[in-house]
Amino acid sequence: MAEDIKSFKLSLLYKYLLISIPANFICATLIFIGLIPLNKMFLSWYILVVVISILRLAMYFLYQRIQNYQLFFTIFSLGTFLSAALWGLADSVLMPLNAPYQEMIVIIIIAGVTAGGIQSLQASLINSCIYITTIIIPLCIWLFLHHLTTYYLISISMAAYFIFILGIAWRGSKVLDESINLRFHNKELMDKLAQNYHNMHNINLNLQMSENIFRNAMENAPIGMGIVSLSGRWQKVNNILCNMLGYTQDELLELTFQDITYPGDLDKSIEFANNFIHGKETYDRLEKRYVKKNGEMIWAMLSVGIVRDMDNKPQYFIAHIEDTTLEKQNKIIMSELYQKTQDMLTQLQFHTTVTAVINKMNEMLQTCVDLQEAYTVISIAAKKIFTSLSGGIAMIDESENELKTVAQWGKQQTLLPFFSTEGCWSLREGQIYLIKNPKQEIICNHFKNPPDNSYICLPLIVQSKILGILHFQGSLADITSINEDNLFVTFSDVIKLSLANIKLRENLKRQSIRDALTGLFNRRYLDETLPRELSRTVRENKLMCVAMLDLDFFKQFNDEYGHEAGDKVLELVGKILDKNCRESDIACRFGGEEFLVILGDTTLDFAVQKLELICEQIKTAKISFHERQLPPITVSVGIAEVPTHGSTSVDIIEAADKAMYQAKQKGRDRIDVFSS
């Protein structure tokens, strides 16, 4: 409607244009005739007036053919401004000087032109303001610039006239707008009334037809249908619904939907109905259960719509009820089968992954060079398989007869660094020890702090020999589930056999390179290692010292105290040498009562100091055998430096041996450095 009003106003502007152009032309002609003798410029001014008038008339006829509001409103406003600008020139720049009579004629005509202009421009307040301002303001300025009292008074009068005429234009435009709006509103109202009458007639016909269709559809529908009051009482039902629920029509009409709703679905059914009553829903579906007359429960899909009156007040519900009991039972069965299948697939995938990890772990354990490397492999595999659990491994230290924690993983690393075999119930009982509730059961004694959740300990026993324990800690559900799948047992079986093999290999290797009595490296290990150490020392341009040690008068000691006492002495010397050697040093039993020590990256001075300390510890050691105190043992030592005294195994051992014999020749119980 707003566009129609704007177009109507524009048509009024162009309609009144046919009246305003002739009137303006007559006034312009009068001024031209009266003032041309005084100012020849009026000829050009008059020609422009004629041209603009002709153009505006042409735009009127063009507007009748082309209805484009934005274009022709802009052109009209431009024409209005140009016409007003010519009158503004006439009453200012072209105004005759010192001709009071002619000046008054111009002022009177200007006042008339302005008054007539606002009558034809009432349909556009903007154009009225442009027209009045462009004509009157130049005249007021021209009068004011004469600096005469008479002109001042006329200027003030014209300014007052300007304000008055603007008010008239505003008032006239407002009245015209109200009149036009009222006209269009009345027209629109009449159109709506006519349309409403036509629609009401059609609605009445459609209602009659719809009522007949609905009645037939309800009676012959293949599903249960009913009309339900807002309170829930059945008002009309079809035979399908009665047969579905086992009631007659008369019986069902005496009940409410609440009476036949399964108790577990009653609250959501009432909430469902309230959402319709309060306007939250207009149509919706609800899967719910009903109770038949014989007490049997059925599943149904309820589709509900609500009927409202003209004031949008709810009147009653229309319910479609479809028995879905069989479909629901099938869906439940399919859902259970699907879930079981998914669980089996998940379990299969898990077992496949676990098997792959265990096989990979087993392969890596077969190639581990030592136990520490094996512990790392086991930790990584355990974290991959038992992602939700924490755990650790503790291995037996046969020399100390206690367990040492060698690896832990997960968030709860609670095992003590060392604990006795009696500290774990799985070792005591020789079987898996599972604790479901640590606060109510007897727990093991190998924790830093009492555990907060369930745990399981698995003994690592091979051929009745204890290797250690495998420990897992986490939620009861996780531990129980994994234990039922025998994953703990499978995992422990693999690692305990692998650890036993690695331990056996280490023992065999130790026996092959270690002296059984002293625990030091043997001659075989020396022959393999010394050339390599010599080569590295020479290559890196470093120093190394080799010391040969021989126990003084050891043959006489054996003869006097026996070989068992001699073995006791050799065992003590081995311990002292092992304790004083750095990681880079190598202590070997060379043969009999002779020992050889390799001191890597060491000067002669440091080597002498180190050997003096060792000799002193041997000399001052208290040795008892069969409750008998044995005499102190002294050592003669020879030291040779690499590469100063030799760079091959033969040369450096020979040099150290000669230095040792020099020490014996000089009285024993001393250290000599090789000198050529």
Sequential DSSP letters for 265-281:
GHHHHHHHHHHHHTTS-
Encoded tokens for 531: 């050339």
Residues 6+ apart with CB under 8 A from 458: 426, 432, 469, 470, 471, 488, 489, 492
Backbone angles phi, psi at 167, to 5 degrees: -65, -45
Domain match, 18 and 165 both: yes
Give the global pTM: 0.44
pLDDT in tens, 444-478: 999 999 898 999 999 998 888 888 999 999 999 88
CA distance 493 to 465: 14
CA distance 446 to 428: 13
Domain match, 394 and 443 both: yes
CA distance 64 to 11: 9
**Contact at 8 Å (CB) between 507 and 499?**
no
Angle (CA) 344 348 349, round 5°: 120
The residue count of the chain comes to 676
Last residue of a domain, one of 505, 526, 548: 505
Residue 335 belongs to some domain of the structure:
no
Which of 419, 410, 466 lies closest to 444 in space, CA to CA?
419
Domain match, 300 and 365 both: no
Q: List, as own/partner pairs, every contact residues 129-133 make where C-beta atoms lie below 8 angstroms and the sequence separation is at least 24, other chains included.
A: 129/166, 129/169, 130/77, 130/80, 130/81, 130/84, 131/80, 131/81, 131/83, 131/84, 132/84, 132/162, 132/165, 132/166, 132/169, 133/84, 133/162
Q: What is the pLDDT of residue 199?
A: 80
Residue 363 belongs to some domain of the structure:
yes
CA distance 391 to 79: 96
Domain match, 163 and 245 both: no
Residues 6+ apart with CB under 8 A from 5: 180, 181, 184
Domain match, 313 and 370 both: no
CA distance 473 to 405: 15
Encoded tokens for 407: 């690896």
Provide the pairing of β-strand 390-397 with 314-323: unpaired
Q: Which 3 state secondary structure label does DSSP give 357?
A: helix
Task: For residue 437, give the CATH number of its domain.
Answer: 3.30.450.40
Q: Which 3 state secondary structure label does DSSP give 599?
A: strand
**Contact at 8 Å (CB) between 392 and 418?**
no
Q: Is the Cα dihedral 409, 415, 420, 423 positive or negative?
A: negative
CA distance 332 to 337: 9
Residue given tokens 């050697």 in the structure block: 581
Domain match, 501 and 522 both: no
Task: For residue 237, give the CATH number of its domain.
Answer: 3.30.450.20
Residue given tokens 């609250």 in the structure block: 267
CA distance 255 to 226: 12
Residue 211 belongs to some domain of the structure:
no
Encoded tokens for 666: 């000089």
Encoded tokens for 87: 């009158």
**433: number of Cβ within 10 Å:** 22
Domain match, 532 and 489 both: no
Q: What is the pLDDT of residue 217?
A: 66
CA distance 85 to 87: 5
DSSP structure class, residue 217: H
Task: For residue 665, give the CATH number of its domain.
Answer: 3.30.70.270
Q: How many domains does the chain have?
A: 4
**Contact at 8 Å (CB) between 237 and 249?**
yes
CA distance 139 to 90: 9
Residue 384 belongs to some domain of the structure:
yes
CA distance 384 to 361: 11
CA distance 478 to 455: 10
Domain that holds residue 645: 514-673
Element (H, E) at 372: helix 371-385
Q: What is the pLDDT of residue 484?
A: 78
Domain match, 494 and 379 both: yes
Last residue of a domain, one of 452, 482, 505: 505
CA distance 350 to 293: 50
Residue 640 belongs to some domain of the structure:
yes
Residue 400 belongs to some domain of the structure:
yes
Domain match, 310 and 361 both: no
User: DSSP of 163-199, one letter per residue?
Assistant: HHHHHHHHHHHHHHHHHHHHHHHHHHHHHHHHHHHHH
| Mean pLDDT, each 10-residue run in order, the chain (676 residues) | 73 77 82 75 84 84 78 82 84 76 80 78 81 85 80 83 84 78 75 78 75 69 85 88 88 89 90 82 83 91 86 86 86 86 81 86 86 90 90 84 91 91 91 92 92 92 88 91 84 87 76 84 90 92 94 90 90 92 91 93 93 93 85 94 92 94 92 88
Domain match, 658 and 532 both: yes
Residue 436 belongs to some domain of the structure:
yes
User: DSSP of 46-83, one letter per residue?
Assistant: HHHHHHHHHHHHHHHHHHHH---HHHHHHHHHHHHHHH
Domain match, 481 and 573 both: no
Measured CA to CA in angstroms, residue 664 lies from 5, 66, 633, 658, 661 at distances of: 134, 136, 14, 10, 5
Domain match, 29 and 102 both: yes
Encoded tokens for 658: 């000669």
Q: What is the pLDDT of residue 443?
A: 93
Last residue of a domain, one of 272, 304, 323: 323
Q: Which amino acid is at 467?
A: L
Provide the pairing of β-strand 390-397 with 454-462: unpaired
Residue 360 belongs to some domain of the structure:
yes
Residues 6+ apart with CB under 8 A from 79: 52, 55, 56, 59
Which of 164, 172, 129, 106 lies closest to 156 in space, CA to CA?
164
